[in-house]
Amino acid sequence: MEELSQLGRYQLTRVLGRGAMGVVYEGIDPKLNRQIAVKTILKGHISDPELEAEYSARFIREAQAVARLNHPNIVTVFDFGEENDIAFIVMECIRGEELKTHFDEKHPFSLEDAVRMTGELLDALDYAHQNGIVHRDIKPANVMLDGQNRVKLTDFGVARLSDTNTERTQAGTMVGTPSYMSPEQIEGSAVGPRSDIFAVGIILYQFLTGEKPFHAQGMWAIQKKIMQEDPVLPSVMNPALSPAFDAVVLRALAKKPDDRYPTALDFKKDLQRALAGEALEDLDATRMVIRPRPQSNAIQQPGEGSSTRNTVPP
């Protein structure tokens, strides 16, 4: 896709990232003298007219969904439109990095920061869910951290306005990113707010242990583990953690949606209780598999290094 310098009234100054279907630019809104990010999708690259219509509709759905949301932990959408064969969304420009980058680089977070950032992500989802929107693609690449490591949730491209009666997507349709999908997403069946909660459970596990909870070679093998297996207890991977964190993760990663936290706020409350040292005897973590942690996965313990706080790897 050829680099652009202008879309509508928006001046595009540099490329922030590229994908298979389009480019994300940094730019300026000259009317408001405001820095912006502009996400584009080139519809002309899609040869199938039906697929082109689907991608275009999904792109506009992202703009419409997020434009309804006004929350400090959700990237703000200012405008959207189409010009020739390019659809675009104009949004808040975040100075920071994806959480995925921190995870990939094995950046250590304090336990307090891990809980805070997971809590901010849950705050964003609780607000979205209360407004009838299910994200359906929660993953570290869609979680931005600004200069103060504050969470900004982005990319509602597969978001769905939730039906409070059925909370269903189209039967047989699998939407999301395989490593962060809930069992019901893999099945292509009912999808609702608790599907997002499952994905946050995976991110929390990464915060606490430095590893994803479901390891396998290939997409289908990973999905089989998600469907059929429980992960190693976080406290086995990181002995600095209390059993309360095991209990919180277990409930978030329950195979059946009804066994998970009913709301993102409930999830956050128990996570904060675990950080405060409460035993969480009302939750049961005994069902999770206990296996030795990999020898190659070094976990920083309290007191190691220069930090005096409990630290966990990403």
The residues that are catalytic are: 137
- Cα(189)–Cα(10) distance, rounded to whole angstroms? 40
- Cα(157)–Cα(62) distance, rounded to whole angstroms? 5
- Exposed/middle/buried for 49, CB within 10 Å: 0-12, 13-18, 19+? exposed
For 49, the token pair is 């007219």
Longest dimension (CA), the chain: 59
- Cα(249)–Cα(206) distance, rounded to whole angstroms? 11
- Exposed/middle/buried for 33, CB within 10 Å: 0-12, 13-18, 19+? exposed
Angstrom CA distances, 88 to 57, 77, 98, 184, 295, stand at 12, 11, 21, 31, 47
Task: Mark residue 301 as left, alpha or beta (left: phi above 0; alpha: psi -120 to 50; beta: remaining).
Answer: beta
Strand partners, 83: 86
